[in-house]
Amino acid sequence: MPQFALRMQGAQRSFIREILKVTADPTVISFAGGLPNPASFPVAEIAAAASAVLAESGARALQYSATEGYLPLRQWIADRYRAKKGLDVDPADILITTGSQQALDLAAKVLVNAGDPVVIEKPGYLGAIQAFSLFRPHWRSVPLLDDGPDLPALDRALAGAKLFYAVTSFQNPSGLSYSEAKRAQVAELLRRHDCFFLEDDPYGELRFAGRDLPPVYAQRPEHSLLLGTFSKIAAPGFRLGWIVAQGEIMERLVIAKQAADLHTGSLDQMVVQRFLADNDFEAHVARIRKLYGGQCRAMQEAIARHFPRDVRVTAPEGGMFLWATLPEGLSSMELLQLAVERKVAFVPGAAFHVDGTGEDTLRLNYSNADSETINEGIRRLAQCLEICRARRSASLDLDEAAMQRGCQD
């Protein structure tokens, strides 16, 4: 074997994908994945779009195409930003990527030298941690509060940092969103530190409660990248995402994209564009919001019904995830072992931390199970929690007894 590059040292497969092997067993109730609900996939509409594209433009759809992406699709994205968020985005500012995971790889490739300080939320998105880690940044993490990052901690972290990466709406893994006030304050801190911003917004269209907010990107577009994806609003199997970028960095991203895979699939881009043009997208995305809103409520109700009161759980206004923090001394890895025996799965939170903490946290996905299954899974998890707590008490009692014996000796 050859000697591997330094960047591969310590690189591991996603722990989530390892857990997903357990959940391949259909009798396991899985809150582990981050899969959109297949009931939300517009299968018939996509089939019609694929037929139309291949019948009308087959040779073009199967040929190589521009690195930047299919112009009508870029136009749709620009139009939607304008209509929905009031953003002044031109199609030329949009680079189509092979899923937004590729956008993370390209951004890291273009920006990060080994040792550059890169700031991420705590907890932070695992896919970004993986993509960036291969370029060997010096990680700094900033705690997420219920309304966005802890500002004094962010202020400290941004000093001399290369960039700040954040998921500002319905974050993965926490489900948390930045409030309007926090968005302005974060933009102000970025300005003060002259720090570049990488805003990832895969779930922004999936708001089922509260009021829509513009991305932080809007406040400093020339010093930010904004990432989006069709994975949650059309289907992830296409691998279609995008980067909004202005000025010189777009040229570099295009160069990096060309070296990475020449361009994103021509047929995929044309089919999704055709699906968007021929169907009522607003009605489609409203159905997804309603579906996920109902599933989130089902999980919150089940948690209220079954979980002990001292487990803290976030209250998302959109997206696909809830985040739980266990009472002191309990470990989510230990909980997972018990849970898998009882055929229920989730993701322990440590993987979302770049500082080795988070062992008392876990991520719960609600987008991929019905209310009844959600209730049963949460009921089983609650049992596991009680077992963990009992074990913990027993071990504390043993410790105390040992201490007392020690005192008597």
Residue 202's closest CA among 240, 145, 150, 164? Answer: 240
The interface region with a second copy, picked from 6-14, 143-151, 152-160, 324-332 by CB under 8 A, is 6-14
Q: At its nearest, how many Å lie between a second copy and the CB of residue 167?
A: 16
- Side-chain half-sphere exposure of 227, counting CA atoms within 13 A: 28
**Closer CB to a second copy, residue 73 or residue 378?**
73
- Pairing assessment for the beta strands 196-200 and 148-149 based on DSSP bridges: unpaired
Residue 114's closest CA among 42, 8, 187, 189? Answer: 8
Q: Is 264 in the site for a second copy (CB under 8 A)?
A: yes
Angle, vertex CA 36, rays to CA 86 and CA 323, nearest 5: 85
Q: At its nearest, how many Å lie between a second copy and the CB of residue 323?
A: 21
The interface region with a second copy, picked from 252-260, 296-304, 323-331, 395-403 by CB under 8 A, is 252-260
Residue 157's closest CA among 190, 199, 201? Answer: 190
Q: Is 347 in the site for a second copy (CB under 8 A)?
A: no
Backbone angles phi, psi at 396, to 5 degrees: -65, -40
Indicate which single residue of 122, 182, 263, 289 sits in contact with a second copy (rule: CB under 8 A).
263
- C-alpha gyration radius of the chain: 22
Measured over the CA atoms of residue 163, residue 164, residue 168 and residue 173, the dihedral's sign is positive
Footprint (CB under 8 A) of a second copy, residues 132-161: 133-135
- The span from the CA of 44 to the CA of 373, in Å, is 27
**Closer CB to a second copy, residue 176 or residue 216?**
216
Cβ(178)–Cβ(218) below 8 Å: no
- The span from the CA of 187 to the CA of 191, in Å, is 6
Q: At its nearest, how many Å lie between a second copy and the CB of residue 283?
A: 18
Measured over the CA atoms of residue 194, residue 109, residue 74 and residue 280, the dihedral's sign is negative
Q: Is 120 in the site for a second copy (CB under 8 A)?
A: no
The interface region with a second copy, picked from 248-256, 333-341, 380-388, 392-400 by CB under 8 A, is 248-256
Indicate which single residue of 15, 22, 41, 155 sits in contact with a second copy (rule: CB under 8 A).
41
Residue 39's closest CA among 296, 345, 378, 367? Answer: 367
Q: Any idea what DSSP says for residue 67? A: T
Residue tagged 């037929």 (tokens):
51
Footprint (CB under 8 A) of a second copy, residues 188-247: 196, 222-223, 231, 235-239, 247
Maximum distance among all Cα pairs of the chain, rounded to whole angstroms? 89
Indicate which single residue of 23, 98, 325, 361 sits in contact with a second copy (rule: CB under 8 A).
98
Q: At its nearest, how many Å lie between a second copy and the CB of residue 162?
A: 7
**Closer CB to a second copy, residue 9 or residue 408?**
9
Distances (CA, A) of 255 to 95, 307, 326, 371, 400: 11, 51, 45, 46, 63
Q: At its nearest, how many Å lie between a second copy and the CB of residue 369?
A: 15
Footprint (CB under 8 A) of a second copy, residues 273-332: none
Footprint (CB under 8 A) of a second copy, residues 44-73: 44, 46-47, 50-51, 54-55, 58-65, 67
**Closer CB to a second copy, residue 104 or residue 299?**
104
Indicate which single residue of 73, 78, 105, 361 sits in contact with a second copy (rule: CB under 8 A).
105
- N- to C-terminal Cα separation, the chain: 58
* Number of shown-chain residues binding a second copy (CB under 8 A): 82
The interface region with a second copy, picked from 8-16, 140-148, 184-192, 392-400 by CB under 8 A, is 8-16
Q: Is 6 in the site for a second copy (CB under 8 A)?
A: yes
Q: Is 26 in the site for a second copy (CB under 8 A)?
A: no
